[in-house]
């Protein structure tokens, strides 16, 4: 005698599956390699970055624990915000009893393409408690102007 088994479609929505696949992809391939953010396409590490916008500006926050202002460089050109820096390793020699080393060291570069025109000369940056906050004012949108016909 055959036994019937009830069909149960997967309970994981497609959006969750896609999100999980994106997460795996992001862990396997560094961000800088996917978007060719750096001149070489490779960096020692990539700091986590949040970006949001208001009506008049973009705000970019970058986690940079262990860095100092003197090891950072910020520039803007053609609607691209570039943040470069280097986290120096404290001790190069092997430490006795060292069980784990997860902190990343070395140089990084993040280049963020902003979706609209910006006021490059009015960009401001504040670095406090390991968080770099860059405020990028948006340029005013050009308004439609009617052209009279002669």
CATH number listed for the domain at residues 42-89+105-137: 2.60.40.790
Tokens 């009506």: give the residue.
55
Q: How far apart are CA 146 and CA 25, in angstroms?
A: 49
DSSP assignments along 79-115, one per residue: TEEEEEEEE--S--SPPTT--------EEEEEEEE-S
Lowest mean pLDDT among 11-15, 40-44, 60-64, 83-87: 40-44
At 55-86, the pLDDT tens digits run 999 999 999 998 889 999 999 998 899 999 98
The answer to whether the CB of 62 falls within 8 A of the CB of 78 is: no
The answer to whether the CB of 66 falls within 8 A of the CB of 77 is: no
User: pTM here?
Assistant: 0.63
Domain boundaries, the chain: 42-89+105-137
Cα of first residue to Cα of last residue in the chain, in angstroms, is 91
The model's confidence at residue 13, banded by pLDDT at 50, 70 and 90, is low
């Amino acid at each position: 005698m055959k036994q019937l088994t009830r069909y149960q479609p997967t309970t994981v929505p497609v959006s969750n599956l896609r999100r999980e696949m994106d997460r795996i992809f992001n862990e396997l391939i560094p961000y800088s390699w996917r978007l060719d953010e750096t001149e070489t396409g490779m960096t020692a590490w990539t700091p986590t970055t949040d970006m949001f916008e208001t009506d008049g500006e973009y705000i970019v926050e970058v986690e940079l624990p262990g860095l100092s202002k003197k090891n950072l460089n910020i520039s803007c050109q053609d609607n691209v915000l570039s943040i470069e820096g280097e986290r120096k390793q404290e001790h190069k020699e092997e430490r006795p009893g060292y069980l784990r080393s997860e902190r990343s060291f070395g140089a990084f570069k993040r280049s963020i393409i902003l979706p609209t025109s910006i006021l490059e000369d009015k960009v401001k940056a504040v670095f406090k408690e390991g968080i770099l906050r860059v405020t990028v004012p948006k340029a005013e949108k050009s308004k439609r102007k009617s052209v009279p016909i002669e």
